[in-house]
Amino acid sequence: MTDEQNIDPQAAAAGAQEAAADAQFNMQRIYTKDISFEAPNTPQVFQEQGQLEMKMNLGQRVDAMGEGLQEVVLTVTVTGIINEKTAYLCEVQQAGIFQLSGMTEQQESGVINVLCPNTLYPYARATVSQLVAAAGFPPVVLQPISFEQIYAQRLQEAQQQQQAAAGNAE
């Protein structure tokens, strides 16, 4: 074996720490990009008897703004349904401008898919709650979300698809 093939664990750890020290994440701005609230069956829906069922959907969009700036838009859509009638439909697009630098592609992907939505979600959650209450419906308390788990699941699914595609190619 030559010296070029030997890896010094201490040197590798120092290199990783140096790379991590160069990584930077800064929030430039957090703002509400779009709000939509509809109560299509009011006032009749207020007379309905039964349990209000709530459905929630999440979406995320990322737009590069140049020079390490990324706009991340988290969309939270909440639909209230009672007796198969839509009581309300609330959609909030909470956005932020984040500066990322000195990161590997994998680190940047993790920050965009975990740290950014973790930062934006509490704002969207509060806005949804305020809009629903202001419309005269029972308060909505959206539960915390593990964006880490969602991201890990997406990575696992992508890896499985790659393995399946590689198996089919043989």
Kindly give the pairing relationship between strand 53-66 and strand 85-101.
unpaired
* Percent of the chain's residues with pLDDT above 90: 70
**For residue 131, how many C-alpha atoms fall within 13 Å in the half-sphere facing its CB?**
23
Domain extent at residue 94: 22-169
Q: Report yes or no on 16 lying in a domain.
A: no
Buried-state track 95-121, b at ≥16 Cβ within 10 A, e below 16: bbbbebeebeeeebebbbbbbbbbbbb
Host H or E run for residue 70: strand 69-82
Q: Report yes or no on 162 lying in a domain.
A: yes
Has residue 8 got a pLDDT over 60? Answer: no
pLDDT tens-digit series, residues 10-52? 443 344 444 456 789 999 999 999 999 999 999 999 999 989 9
Q: Report yes or no on 12 lying in a domain.
A: no
CA 135 to chain centre: 26
Q: Report yes or no on 8 lying in a domain.
A: no
Mean pLDDT of the chain: 86
Give 69's contacts (C-beta < 8 A, 6+ positions apart): 28, 97, 98, 99
Query: What pTM value is reported for the model?
Result: 0.80
The CATH number of the domain where 48 resides is what?
Answer: 3.10.420.10
Has residue 83 got a pLDDT over 60? Answer: yes
150 vs 169, residue with greater confidence = 150
Q: Report yes or no on 63 lying in a domain.
A: yes
Q: Report yes or no on 76 lying in a domain.
A: yes
Least confident of 6-20, 65-79, 112-126, 147-161: 6-20
Count how many domains the chain has. 1
Q: Report yes or no on 7 lying in a domain.
A: no
| Cα–Cα distance for residue pair 142/13, rounded to 1 Å | 41
Q: Report yes or no on 89 lying in a domain.
A: yes
Which pLDDT belongs to residue 1? 39
